[in-house]
Structure 1
Amino acid sequence: MSSPVYDVVGIGFGPSNLALAVALEEEYGSGVNAVFFERQPRFGWHRNMLLDGATMQVHFLKDLVTLRNPASHHSFLCYLQEKGRLIDFINHKTMFPTRLEFHDYLEWVAASFARLVRYDSEVVAVRPHDDDTLEVVVQRGDELHTCLTRNLVIAVGLDPVLPGGVRSGERVWHTEELLSRLKGLGGREPGRFVVVGAGQSAAETVEHLHRTYPSAEVCALFTRYGYSPADDSPFANRIFDPEAVDHFFAAPEEVKRMLLAYSRNTNYSVVDLDLIDELYRRSYAEKVAGVERLRMLNASRLLGVEEDGEVARVRMCFLPTGEVSTIEADAVVCATGYRERNPLDLLGEAREHCLTGEAGELLVERDYRIAVDPRKSWGVYLQGATEDTHGIASSLLSMTAVRTGEIVRSIVRRSAQVPQGAEP
């Protein structure tokens, strides 16, 4: 039995490839010849950080479609209209919906493309079939299936990162699993949490734990002296403009490094000022009351965590003096970020035909396509792992609508004919 041939196969079905599915349909109609493989059993985007009251850090107009097609029926505004909340949202006078509402929007869009997605399916190998197509090997349960594609779009997201020497355990968690771990506590009231990290997720976790567990002490452990505010001022936000990607891609390497360094405070290890103010307000109020549950273990470095039965022992160093101390906690939550997955790990035998630079890095073209042997007409596109070539905004939600539009136009431009075919 021959393998089906697709014009587009997507690995992963988070917001990036969901936006790609919308762009493909709006370009070709509902008969688009594409399929997406997703490891999760259903659509989900950082479900364990859908904290009550936590808001998005991007404007609602930077949804899956609006910057590419303001008339799209899959916009956040159309979602609000269908849900009967458009006027209510306008009256709310906010540009930043809650993360819970935005996730509901993403699920609403994903439901329209269920026919294109194979959940509980993991791509385990990619290899060249011929000069025109790639063979994609997919595992579903204990079975392996194959299909062929002319274009592969990789959007596999991020892997959580723990501090060096720290391992996940019964009492050591990453924020990636926060809510499910908290549910596992049952009705037991913890005595102390330690939250490691100084970014937005760390501050949101501290706020959530402090509010949710009124008898627990919440300790925020980080090397800075305090939380640093995110620079979301209008001029700084121009780094997220589509034009900025063009500028960054064409810039010399030393300029790219400079721009990345300059713009880190728009996205990395920074916190919304309103949340900083709220945590400070609580801390000060507790000092006035004489009962301090919110503790800032600032200018301190985590040295290690050791689980011992019912407690986790946290060793830390106060950097100004070098003093080492240990505290016990019911749980240690590491809000220590994520690492982009290396697309080469997925490409298998196909990597032999991908062009690389002097340091072994993938050469990625402006249209997010990996440069390959010119004798090959198949294409591999990246949605992620392009910060070094396309800038800080290249893989973020802010650019998703524009980026997917560029990828679709590239596929059209490089194809001998407009993709057509039966629904998979």
Structure 2
Amino acid sequence: MSRGELDLLGVGFGPANLALALAVDELPPDDRLGALFCERQPRFGWHRGMLLPGATLQVSFLKDLVTQRNPTSPASFVAYLHERGRLADFVNAKTFFPTRLEFHDYLEWAAARVAGSVRYGTEVTALRPVREDGAVRAVEAELSDGTRVRSRDVVLATGLRARMPRGVPRGPRVWHNHTLLGDLRALDEAHAATGTAPRSFVVLGAGQSAAEVVQHLHARYPGAEVHSVFRSFGYAPADDSPFANRVFDPAAVDEFHTAPPAVREDLLRRHAGTNYSVVDQDLIQELYRTEYAETVAGARRLHVHRASELLEVREEETAVAVDVLDRTSGAVRRLRADVLVCATGFEHLDPAVLLGELAPAVRRDAAGRVLVHRDHRLVTDPDVTCGIHLMGGTEHSHGLSSSLLSNVAPRAGEVLASVRRRRGAPAGARAGGLPV
């Protein structure tokens, strides 16, 4: 390897690569890695547009960035609470689930600990193979600031892309929920300039985010109607029972990865209710009580359009027209709203988009999905000896927790152990608490 070459280049700096940076930071001084993380945002941020007042995390605070990898880490959520002077108060709150706002503050606090290894406002625009003696032994990354860096291992954590309904592009009055708070601030400013207020919203989706958006809009705009549209008959409660939640355990990843493909698909289907298109039971009850109270009072603002779907969306200058089909009766209702909010989830980017010349060397299964080793490395042609790791986008190979916070700490330890093992770390050395 050439002098000055990185051991590890992280592409993206959300919770996944932040957890990895913390694991790297915990290595002993005589075993440090040369690591750099590039993030296109100007500062750390994780779903800022959905930091709604009162919204809580859906996983335990113990599934923070470090605890399941190293319970003694100085970067744990408990250590954060202690430093902020809120540890006793949090204990007295008797909850495992902090607000999303507080957990985001924890993430920012943790990111500040490793700020020296992060370049914010910098995007990796291309990755190119570096060949030595007939093998691809490193990757050269071109950065948005014009510089280039080489690294022996690359960790892709490019996050998720907002998914919109087919044929419905984003626009001034058609939003995706992940930018909600910023979009609402702009909407409020526009209405303040004319002395008016929003009168109607349509929210598409049946999952946790959709229900939270409905609740927030209903509370924030007491003079507006909120229409909730989804294909199912009602909001479905999330399966957060202890036995079902074992599907998110670190050990479950081992079982899932070694299972036959047909079994993997069956398990994903059977346990989709732990994560997809489901809502916290307390929020369901609150929305139902709101709808019922308004029915009794004869002043409806919350309208639930069950077993329904969008037929057509047309943006106008002062409104958006939304045609909604009742799937049971075939009736079509036209709603005119200030905004349509699509809480329709996210999708992963294919790593081939960034890998460029390296993409053909990545092995895929019969369905066209990338093959991934247990240590989160892409399976590549034998002449590619550098490591290309994925942080997310591996649900088909590593299970439901692949894109969630649940296993972010153990996964960081596994990736770091893989990097160090192939780098030739001394036997018995430890990667931030994880045996190699």
- TM-score, reference length from structure 2: 0.93
What amino acid does structure 2 have at the position aligned with 1:303?
L
Contact 1:3–1:148 (Cα < 8 Å) also in 2 = no
Residue from 125, 129, 139 that aligns with 1:134: 139
Q: CA 1:28 to 1:375, structure 2 compared with 1: closer, same or farther past 3 Å?
A: farther
Contact 1:3–1:147 (Cα < 8 Å) also in 2 = no
Corresponding position: 1:159 with 2:167: no
The percent identity for this pair of structures is 52
What amino acid does structure 2 have at the position aligned with 1:328?
R
> Which residue of the partner structure matches residue 290 of structure 1?
298
Q: Deviations over 1:323-376 (max 9, x none)?
A: 122110011100000001111111111123222334433221010001122233
Alignment of 1:13-412 (within 5 A): 13-29=13-29, 31-130=32-131, 131-140=136-145, 144-185=146-187, 186=189, 187=192, 188-412=196-420
Q: Distance in 2 between matches of 1:271 and 1:376?
A: 43
Q: Distance in 2 between matches of 1:212 and 1:340?
A: 32
What amino acid does structure 1 have at the position aligned with 2:139?
L
Q: Distance in 2 between matches of 1:114 and 1:408?
A: 18
Q: Distance in 1 between matches of 2:87 and 2:124?
A: 39
Give the SS at the match of 1:352: helix
Give the SS at the match of 1:106: helix
Q: Distance in 2 between matches of 1:233 and 1:118?
A: 40
Give the SS at the match of 2:17: helix
Task: Report the more deviating stretch, 55-64 or 123-132.
Answer: 123-132
Contact 1:134–1:150 (Cα < 8 Å) also in 2 = yes
Unaligned ranges ≥5, structure 2: 430-436
Give the SS at the match of 1:183: helix
**What is the Cα-based RMSD across aligned positions, in Å?**
1.5
Tell me how far 1:417 sits from its aligned partner: 4.5
Tell me how far 1:31 sits from its aligned partner: 5.0
Tell me how far 1:416 sits from its aligned partner: 3.2
Q: Distance in 2 between matches of 1:222 and 1:316?
A: 10
Q: Distance in 2 between matches of 1:196 and 1:4?
A: 50
What amino acid does structure 2 have at the position aligned with 1:134?
V
Tell me how far 1:118 sits from its aligned partner: 0.7
Q: Distance in 1 between matches of 2:125 and 2:356?
A: 9
- TM-score, reference length from structure 1: 0.95
Give the SS at the match of 2:325: strand
